[in-house]
């Protein structure tokens, strides 16, 4: 089987954990801080962290436009938490100057679960990820409030917190074409099945 070279956007956030999980899933992982490093990867993980800071750093490092161009050309990407926000078309409760790539036609709400609980974990089922429930860790997580055409909902969760309920639960994992996004952090647990799903997407 081929070993795809997958980048992790390394401006801010939990880069090392994603690199470890990608390697566990059979990829070669490389940090991406410059456009030349982006050119050398077949797919990109945008990690959790803080989307407002990431948006600023992408501008400072002259990486926003190169990443956007690769996404527009169909480069596979996986965004977790802040990374999910970065991939979204529309961001609610964001900062006015916050930018996102618009790679997935969806609306996300920042810190959505966080209004009730800062972080929590729960076992969820993820469409297309076999092998039983997945322990999903949420840290000041966004949820998806609207999905557009072509977006497949892979997982929902009802946090049980007041106000977090929605029929069937809140959307916390989606796929649209070559893009995957999760509200939670699969890189903080030893279970590499979500990264495996993404590595298989990149192998395509
Ligand atoms: N753990 C995270 O990535 C939190 C995301 C953060 N709340 C943001 O808006 O970017």
Dist CA 188 CA 67 (whole Å)? 25
Q: Which among 45, 117, 142 is the best mutation to test ligand 1's pocket, defined by most ligand atoms within 8 Å of the CB?
A: 142
Q: Which among 9, 17, 49 is the best mutation to test ligand 1's pocket, defined by most ligand atoms within 8 Å of the CB?
A: 49
- Does the annotation list 171 as a binding residue? no
- Does the annotation list 50 as a binding residue? yes
pLDDT of residue 19: 98
Instruction: Assign 48 to helix, strand or coil.
Output: coil
φ/ψ (deg, to 5) at 168: 80, -5
Work out which ligand 1 atom sits closest to the CA atom of 139.
1
Asked if 170 and 159 touch (Cβ cutoff 8 Å), the reply is yes
pLDDT of residue 162: 46
Beta pairing partners, 182: 80, 173
Task: Enumerate the active-site residues.
Answer: 81, 185, 187
CA of 2 to the centre of ligand 1 (A): 33
Kindly give the parts of the chain with pLDDT less than 50: 162-164
Q: Is the minimum distance from the CB of 85 to ligand 1 under 6 angstroms? A: yes
Helix, strand, coil % over all residues of the chain, rounded to 5:
30, 30, 40
Work out which ligand 1 atom sits closest to the CA atom of 94.
9
Q: Is the minimum distance from the CB of 140 to ligand 1 under 6 angstroms? A: yes
Instruction: Assign 60 to helix, strand or coil.
Output: helix
- How many domains is the chain partitioned into structurally? 1
pLDDT of residue 118: 79
Question: pTM higher than 0.90, yes or no?
Answer: yes
Q: Which domain holds residue 40?
A: 5-203
- List the CATH number of the domain containing 123: 3.40.50.880
CA of 72 to the centre of ligand 1 (A): 24
Dist CA 131 CA 202 (whole Å)? 21
CA of 82 to the centre of ligand 1 (A): 4
Model ipTM value: 0.95
pLDDT of residue 117: 66
Q: 124-127 — which CB contacts under 8 Å span 24+ positions?
A: 124/155, 124/156, 124/157, 124/172, 124/173, 125/155, 126/154, 126/155, 126/173, 126/193, 126/194, 126/197, 127/152, 127/153, 127/154, 127/155, 127/173
């Amino acid at each position: 089987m081929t070993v795809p070279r997958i980048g992790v956007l390394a401006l801010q956030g939990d880069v090392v954990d994603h690199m470890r999980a990608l390697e566990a899933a059979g990829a070669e992982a490389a940090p991406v801080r410059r456009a030349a490093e982006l050119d050398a990867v077949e797919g990109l993980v945008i990690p959790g962290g803080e989307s407002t800071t990431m948006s600023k750093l992408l501008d400072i490092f002259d990486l926003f436009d190169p990443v956007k161009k690769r996404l527009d050309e169909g480069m596979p990407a996986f965004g977790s938490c802040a990374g999910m926000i970065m991939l979204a078309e529309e961001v609610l409760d964001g900062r006015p100057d916050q930018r996102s790539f618009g790679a997935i036609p969806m609306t996300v709400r920042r810190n959505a679960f966080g209004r009730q609980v800062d972080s929590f974990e729960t076992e969820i089922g993820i469409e297309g990820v076999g092998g039983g429930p997945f322990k999903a860790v949420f840290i000041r997580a966004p949820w998806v409030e609207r999905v557009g055409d072509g977006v497949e909902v892979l997982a929902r969760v009802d946090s049980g917190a007041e106000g977090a309920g929605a029929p069937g639960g809140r959307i916390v994992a989606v796929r649209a074409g070559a893009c995957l996004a999760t509200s939670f952090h699969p890189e903080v647990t030893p279970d590499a099945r979500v990264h495996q799903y993404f590595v298989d997407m990149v192998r395509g």
